[in-house]
Structure 1
Amino acid sequence: MRDIAYQVPMHLIADIIGIPEDDRSWVFERTDHLLKSGDPYGKYTEDDRLGLQTEVFEYAQRITADKRANPADDVWTKLAEQLDGFELEMFFLLLSIAGSETTRNALTMGLIALLDHPDQLAELRANPELSPSAADEILRWSSPVLIFGRTATRDVTIGGQDLKAGDRVVFWHPSGNRDETVFQDTFHFDIHRSPNPHIAFGGGGVHYCLGANLAHKEIRVVMESVVAGYDIELAAPPVWTGSGPVHNVGISIDSLPVRVTART
């Protein structure tokens, strides 16, 4: 987990944002703790959460000032030209968390699924062209983002349910990704599943994951590389984040100990 699934998304999104390499561990350690601070059974207090958020916001201000003084070919230089103040601070927090946390959990849950289905692991190894459909099934199966909330802006009927303007709606990704009216054998992991209209990135429209293409590519490339290059087996059960597998963003794993042997 820490050696592969954590590292790849962290460095890629940091490259895109323009976070200097020497700062990356510091930044992502704080965003990790900030996520864990939402665990009601965890060790963090509200003061801890606010302190972590302040540290991240202050870093966002420093990197913004640096990019404005020394423009570079990266996303943050462009954003610093268009946004200011709190918008930039929140955008930095969004990109640094959403660009790493969910993808690394999808990667880890995907490896667990493949190890639980050794026949499909062997098939993916023999047929790397299956990696795009395997990535989609990993996203459906893992549903790394648990929920999103929305507020109805007008009276509307959705799925036979009447909603009034102002009603709050909770969107459960794992439930939608196991909808029996959409998917066959919903609780069966299947790298051949097609079509696979999963909603791991959202339900479409304007409210869709900004990094969907990047996350899908990361899952494909990591799975292709790991599956092709190594024999893998679990060394111990996964260690879930905080008090359990679910926190305020989604399903989260702290570590997945595995034994790997290079294939010859």
Structure 2
Amino acid sequence: MTTLPETSPQTFPETTHGHIDLSAREFWTKPPAERDAAFEVLRRENPVAWSRPADSDLLPPEQNLRGFWSLTKHEDIRFASRHPEIFSSAQGITMEDFPREILMMSQSFIAMDAPRHTQLRGITLDAFKPRNMRRLQSWIQGHARDLVSEMSHLGEGDFVELVSVKLPGRIFGSFFGLPPGEIHEKTISAAQRTLGWTDPEVRGDLTAIELFAGAVMDLHETVTTLLPERRANPGDDLLSWMVQAEFDGEKMTDDELKAFFTLLAVAANDTTRHASAQAIYAFSQFPAQRDLLVADIGGRIDAAVEEVLRWGSPLLHMRRTATQDVTIRDKEIKAGDKVVLWYISANRDEDVFEDPMTFDITRKSNPHLAFGGGGPHFCLGAALARTMLRSLLTEVYTRIPDITATEPNFQVANFINGINSLPATWTPEGTRV
């Protein structure tokens, strides 16, 4: 683990820049268009901006003392992502700090640096063999087809409830070989609420840390229950593959398997769930783009998926911590400072994307950072996320091509680009003239 110096107490500006305050809870209640406009100002006027400590309930106030730098330009985020020797992941990956013990239980190797990050990622890659990935792709296609069959005759409903929540949950259940019944339901519920600590609708009466820690403990309980069986009788599922996988003669410990399961549960459920809802909403906002896709699904689906990922950026940010003093543009970042990489801003960068505020599936070049800016922490699940979106959007726009969503109920979040509900209507399958 990389040990970093603590950032010394300092005088913080009242806001990030002018009226823009990325640290404020209120900022993350604003509609996406308003947040996009704020990041446009930052890219133009203050692309490496300093913020006071984020409003957060994850730590006691006397411990929540660390402000952060924001990188808002595509180029700067790629630089930070590709220099892990300067920008460490080991101190946490979110703008809000978690208690150290919770960090280690929940974020696995994405909150580690080399050499352990390299070892655990290598073990994971061993489990993600081509043969195993082909099996996952067939599961994804089958679940997407079944879900659209279950809802296509209705004509209206909440797309999140009918599809977005269910598809990743079913895939994850197959993925890890979760037995049907209580274990499956409890595990999927935990995975789907883990990142909702900033949203009052998700959190309910719980504090932020109670919600997060409770969900993590439920996921660990699942692994504790399933591990003995998977070691004794390994099957065709990811937990069995992970138990057997090794790199340089090493396997994961039980605690590392629990943390990895938690990481993947969240990645497989929350991020892909929200990406599918963002896709339907985007095509509803830009019906001419939907018509282009419907006219040639086979020829345009891959480009459509990439534009959905750019436009809907499932993760709003990742965070790093400087291991040494470094200057980006004219800002002097000190060792120990938190540095937040705003993917949602990079994916609207005018220096990289022509007309970035327009959803356009015909883009000739789309170097979005939905899965990170490259380097050793580039998302391992990128191919699977693309497969899920490709399979689902192909089924939806082949069978109910006129599906149209109204305004979503967006999740209040500074990490995940979430949608809690998405009312939609469509012509029931089989009744179209």
Q: Is the TM-score greater than 0.5?
A: yes
Q: 5+ residue gaps in structure 2?
A: 1-159, 245-250
Shift of 1:48: 4.4
C-alpha contact (below 8 Å) 1:14/1:96 kept by paired residues: no
Q: 2:372 aligns with which of 199, 202, 205?
A: 202
Partner residue, 1:15: 174
Deviates more, 1:22-31 or 1:181-190: 22-31
Q: Distance in 1 between matches of 2:415 and 2:350?
A: 25
Q: Distance in 2 between matches of 1:201 and 1:153?
A: 23
- C-alpha RMSD of matched pairs (Å): 2.0
Shift of 1:132: 0.6
Shift of 1:256: 1.1
Aligned residues: 259
Letter in 2 for 1:214: L
Letter in 2 for 1:10: G
Letter in 1 for 2:288: D
Q: After superposition, give the CA deviation of every residue in 1:117-168 in whole Å (9 maximum; x if it has no partner).
A: 1111111001111111111010000111011110122333445544333222
TM-score relative to the length of structure 2: 0.56
Shift of 1:40: 6.7
Q: Distance in 2 between matches of 1:178 and 1:248?
A: 17
Whose RCO is larger (CA < 8 A, sep 6+)? Answer: 2
Shift of 1:203: 0.3
Distance 1:160 1:132, change over 3 A: farther
Partner residue, 2:403: 232
Q: After superposition, give the CA deviation of every residue in 1:187-209 in whole Å (9 maximum; x if it has no partner).
A: 11101112100000000111111
SS at match of 1:99: helix
Partner residue, 2:426: 260
Partner residue, 2:213: 50
C-alpha contact (below 8 Å) 1:102/1:144 kept by paired residues: yes
Distance 1:161 1:181, change over 3 A: farther
Q: Distance in 1 between matches of 2:198 and 2:252?
A: 28
Map 1:185-196 onto structure 2 (within 5 A).
185-196=355-366
Letter in 2 for 1:258: A
Distance 1:38 1:93, change over 3 A: farther
Partner residue, 2:237: 74
Q: 5+ residue gaps in structure 1?
A: none
SS at match of 2:314: coil
Q: Does 1:249 align with 2:424?
A: no
Q: Does 1:120 align with 2:283?
A: no
Partner residue, 1:176: 346
Q: After superposition, give the CA deviation of every residue in 1:30-77 in whole Å (9 maximum; x if it has no partner).
A: 222332234378422244443332222111111112211221122211
SS at match of 1:203: coil
TM-score relative to the length of structure 1: 0.90
Partner residue, 1:103: 272
